[in-house]
Every structure is written in structure tokens, then in C-alpha cells.
Amino acid sequence: MATSTRSTPGPFVNEPITDYRQPENVRGMRQAIEKVRTQLGREYDLIIGGETVRTTDKIISVNPANPSEVIGIHQKAGLEHVEPAMQAALAAFEKWQYASVTERTGVLFRTAETLRRHKFEFNAWLVLEVGKNYDEAEADTAEAIDFLELYARQALVLDRAEPIVQLPGERSFLRYIALGVGAVISPWNFPNAIALGMAGASLVCGNTVVLKPSSDSPTIAAKFFEALVEAGMPAGVVNFCPGSGATFGNGLVAHPKTRYIAFTGSRDVGLDIHSRAAQPQKGQIWIKRTVLEMGGKDTIVVDADANLDAAVQGVAAAAFGFQGQKCSACSRVVVHQDIYDEFLEKLKTTTEKLAIGLPEDNVRMGPVINQGAMQSILDYIEIGKREGRLITGGERIPGDGYFIQPTVIADLDPAARLSQEEVFGPVLAVVKAKDFDDALGIANNTEYGLTGSLYSTSQDKIERAKREFHVGNLYINRKCTGAVVGANPFGGFNMSGTDSKAGGTDYLYLFSQAKSIGQKL
């Protein structure tokens, strides 16, 4: 295994964001997309314990902007692959748990370097497989780099942990040790950052992983898996297993040797995982840990004293960035009655100016992820038309891709379905508030609690929001998307998950356990 050259790294610094207003960067992306296109349609194997595995059933990944374009063909892990994957991870764990912190962090640092060197290409895969424009793809890859760099540094911090008291005549130690084999079940909407973040946190703590990426983005996962191998990750430390959630995923969650499950996805699937993990299996000797991020119904409150133009721009960016397919997306906006009509007029104008087209052309809005998602979103739009007043949008855009107009539906009751249920698409619910108390009450009236924002110039109202707006990530006078690693540790309350705070300095505690040792002198 290669040795790290970064055992004493400098302070953490966020990965610089490439500016795609610069022509040379646009050229770089276009060239990367053309290069990636020469690799489309390739078949990828399962990788279990470093060995390739082929299956009869396949996962066909396609371009959501052009579903006839096959991105990759993947093996589909089933229930029969759970035991081989688990045994491979268990075998690797016997050595990896004792690997030095230099070895473990070295894998993360070198993987980050690979992503940095080939950023345009990683971005290009995101453009073609999940429909991100250049800026959204850039944010995903840069966040993946940030996760790797931050978690490696935090592993070094944990390795130096000491008890705060040393007793007379005794030497006390504190060791953060690995948990065991983890199931990492990652989503398609941030298929680079979230998957690498959960897997990277796992392995840098000495755990081994069975990785089940989303069936909508397995090719991106295959590419960063290749980067991990290139970085010197031993065979079996991460096992690459795209597969069915109902068979492979559930079997993995239920396995008695699974020590923890790190999951990002929907509320219903997260709750099902939590329930299955809570049931002890024959031979299981621990309580399985779950690290769950399960979505939201995120609100921006616009008070009467807000900078209206800034609020409109922030709401539009948070509602329609990446077609609203973010758990942090602004799914509803609560607007003070005194500015309600003016806000709606400005928002309608802004929304109707949003360009829609092919992500490879770096258009502001692209497709939603797949046929099923498109139909679900269109169904919610019809519900919204019955519950409220359609301001703009509301239709599928004709063509082969999964394109939907950015949609604004106003005059909704706070208890309406469109005000309460996660749509995960370019649909914004608008609710009128009588005053600031009413607005805060509406903002807190869902079962979720992930992100939220307040636009106001009143310091008193800002302070109240800091105390009373019950979300894991609150923003003042800015959009509710775009959490930055290190600055905005990310994770929500209530049905939004276990408040895991990805990108924060305490995240690695979730993937390790503390062992206290006292030695008599």
C-alpha cells in the first residue's frame, strides 16, 4: 500500500469553486463531456473483496435528459450477494481496523487529489448521469473533496484525543476505535459528495463498507470507487454493490454482522431501515447504529421588512436549483400579507426567465431524474392546482427527456398536501402569513426540520428565528441551499433524520466508538 505524504496536513481549506463564466473553464467542461461520451455504455462489475462479479440481472443507467443514451450497464446485486459482500468486508476489517491513521487518512487525501486533478471529468459524469449543470456538478465534486479533506484531518484529531484528567499514579488513555462493517446506502442527487462522504468517514475511522449506490447513479459511484482503489485502498475495505433496495439493501440492513447503516434518501425508506436495524438477529451482539438523512419540507420566510428583490432571487435559486431535487431545497415560501402580491409578481417574472434545456449546454434547469419521479411530480402539481392557484409552470416540457416547467402554486393552506409533503422537484408552494408570529408557526408546522431561511431586516425577528425556527440548518437573508463543509455542518431534526451533521467536526463520532483505558503506574 502506498504511504501518505499528507500525515501532517495544513489547516482545512474549502476546495475552490471553478468559475464557469470564464471561457477556458467552459471549454474544459465541454472537452471533458466529449471525453466521457467515448466511455458511455461500458459494463461495470460488482467488486467484492477485490474480485469482479457478474450477474444475470442488470441496472441500466441512462441520461435523464436523453433516456436513449445509456451511461453505464451495471451488475445488480441481489440477496445472494449479501453474504459474500459481508464476508469480504469482515475479512478486510481484521486488518484495516488496525491500520495506522497515516494509512487511513492517506487514502482520503490521495482520493481527494484524484478528484481535484480530474474534476472536469467527474463533473461531466454528473452532467450526463443525473442531469446537473456545470455549477451544480462543480458543487457536488468540490463538496466530495471537502468531505475527504475534512474527515481525514478530523481522524488525526481523534487519534490525538486525551482524557481531560490524569489521576495520580495512573495513566489514562482515550482511543476512538472502529465499529465494524457498515452499510452505506447513498442517493442519486449528490452521488459523488454524499456517497464519498459517508464511505470516506467510514473507512478513515477503520471501518469497512458495503456500498450500495442509487440505481440512478451507479456509474458515478463506479468512478469514485476506481479513485479509492487508485489511492491505495485495500481490497474489501469498500465493496461496490449496486443492487435492489428490496432484496440486497434489506438483506444488508438485516444482517447480524452489519454494525451500522449510513443512509441518505427518503423519509419512508429511512424509517424502514431504522425499524429493520432495531430488530436484533440471531448471532447479533450489538445495537446497530443508524445515521439517517431523510429529506425535508424546507421553508423560506419572507417578512414585510425584507429586501424583496434579494428574497425573490434566493427563493428562486433554492426552489429550482438542480430542479428542486435537493433535500435542502425551498419547497415552500411563507410571505407576509403586506408584500404577498408584490412578491408573487416578482417571483413569477423571475421564474419564467429561467432557461430550461440540456445540462451539457450548462442551462440553468435540466431534467428530473427519471420517469417515475417525473410522474410523481406532475401528480403533485395536479394536487396543487386543486389546493391553490397556479402562478406559473405546471406542465411537462415535450420531448424525450424528463423535463418539467418550474412551477409556483400560491394561496395554499398551511395544512394542504403541497404545503406538507416532500415533492422533490421544481414545485414551490406559497403560503400567506398574517404576521411574523403566524409565519414562524407555519414554518414549524411540518414533521420535518432540515433547512430554513428568514429574509428580514429586523434584528429582533432574526434573533427570534435563531431561537424558534426549528431546523438543523437555518440561514438568515440567504437561500436555504448550499451548505458549505466546515461552515454549515448539515443535518436535520424530526423526520429529517438523525441530525448527523455531515461536514462538521463531530461527524466521525458517528462512525467510531470511544474506548477508555486506565493503566496503573
CB 445 within 8 A of CB 467: no
Q: What is the CATH number of the domain that holds 353?
A: 3.40.309.10
pTM recorded for the entire structure: 0.97
Sign of CA dihedral 129, 130, 136, 138: negative
Please indicate, yes or no, if residue 246 is contained in any of the structural domains. Answer: yes
Side-chain half-sphere of 293: how many Cα atoms within 13 Å?
A: 28
d(CA 175, CA 310): 48
Query: Nine-digit cell at 52?
Result: 469482479
Q: Within this chain, do residues 177 and 251 fall inside the same structural domain, yes or no? A: yes
Three-state DSSP state, 138? helix
Q: Within this chain, do residues 289 and 314 fall inside the same structural domain, yes or no? A: no
Q: Within this chain, do residues 314 and 400 fall inside the same structural domain, yes or no? A: yes
Please indicate, yes or no, if residue 11 is contained in any of the structural domains. Answer: no
pLDDT attached to residue 1: 34
Q: What DSSP character marks residue 207?
A: -
Please indicate, yes or no, if residue 111 is contained in any of the structural domains. Answer: yes
Query: Nine-digit cell at 124?
Result: 461531466
Q: What is the CATH number of the domain that holds 163?
A: 3.40.605.10
pLDDT attached to residue 2: 36
pLDDT attached to residue 7: 52
| CA distances from residue 55 to 84, 129, 214, 217, 516 in whole angstroms, order as listed | 14, 22, 17, 18, 45
Q: Within this chain, do residues 279 and 361 fall inside the same structural domain, yes or no? A: no
Q: Within this chain, do residues 73 and 200 fall inside the same structural domain, yes or no? A: yes
Which of these, 335, 318, 338, 337, lies nearest to 327 by C-alpha position? 318
d(CA 387, CA 326): 24
Q: Within this chain, do residues 113 and 140 fall inside the same structural domain, yes or no? A: yes
Query: Nine-digit cell at 296?
Result: 425535508
Q: Left, alpha or beta for 482 (phi > 0: left; psi -120 to 50: alpha)?
A: left
Please indicate, yes or no, if residue 330 is contained in any of the structural domains. Answer: yes
What's the per-residue H, E or C state across 463-497? HHHHHHCCCCEEEECCCCCCCCCCCCCECCEECCE
Query: Nine-digit cell at 443?
Result: 414554518
Active site residues: 293, 327
pLDDT attached to residue 393: 98
Q: What counts of helices (H) and strands (E) characterise the chain?
A: 15, 21
pLDDT attached to residue 47: 98
Encode 79-111: b = buried (16+ Cβ within 10 Å), e = exposed: eebbebbbbbbeebbeebbebebbbbbbbbbbb
Encode 194-227: b = buried (16+ Cβ within 10 Å), e = exposed: bbbbbbbbbbbbbbbbbbbbbbbbbbbbbbbbeb
d(CA 197, CA 220): 14
Which residues of the chain, if any, have pLDDT below 70?
Answer: 1-7
Q: What DSSP character marks residue 69?
A: E
Q: Within this chain, do residues 263 and 131 fall inside the same structural domain, yes or no? A: yes
Give me the helices (H) in 131-212, please.
Answer: 134-159, 193-204
Query: Nine-digit cell at 466?
Result: 435563531
pLDDT attached to residue 341: 98
Q: Within this chain, do residues 65 and 193 fall inside the same structural domain, yes or no? A: yes
pLDDT attached to residue 8: 73
Q: Within this chain, do residues 319 and 464 fall inside the same structural domain, yes or no? A: yes
d(CA 285, CA 271): 22
d(CA 516, CA 267): 36
d(CA 140, CA 400): 26
Q: Within this chain, do residues 212 and 91 fall inside the same structural domain, yes or no? A: yes
Which of these, 342, 308, 332, 334, lies nearest to 465 by C-alpha position? 334
Q: Left, alpha or beta for 157 (phi > 0: left; psi -120 to 50: alpha)?
A: alpha
Give me the number of domains the chain comprises. 2
Q: Domain range holding 127?
A: 29-294+499-520
Three-state DSSP state, 331? strand
In degrees, to the nearest 5, what angle opens at C-alpha 374 toward C-alphas 373 and 376? 65
Please indicate, yes or no, if residue 2 is contained in any of the structural domains. Answer: no
Please indicate, yes or no, if residue 433 is contained in any of the structural domains. Answer: yes
Please indicate, yes or no, if residue 255 is contained in any of the structural domains. Answer: yes
Which of these, 264, 276, 255, lies nearest to 88 by C-alpha position? 255
Sign of CA dihedral 273, 278, 279, 283: positive
Instruction: Give the gyration radius of the chain's Cα atoms.
Output: 23
In degrees, to the nearest 5, what angle opens at C-alpha 241 toward C-alphas 240 and 244? 160
Please indicate, yes or no, if residue 74 is contained in any of the structural domains. Answer: yes
Q: Within this chain, do residues 272 and 201 fall inside the same structural domain, yes or no? A: yes
Q: Indicate the residue type of 466.
A: K
Query: Which H or E run contains 222?
Result: helix 218-230
Q: Within this chain, do residues 290 and 319 fall inside the same structural domain, yes or no? A: no
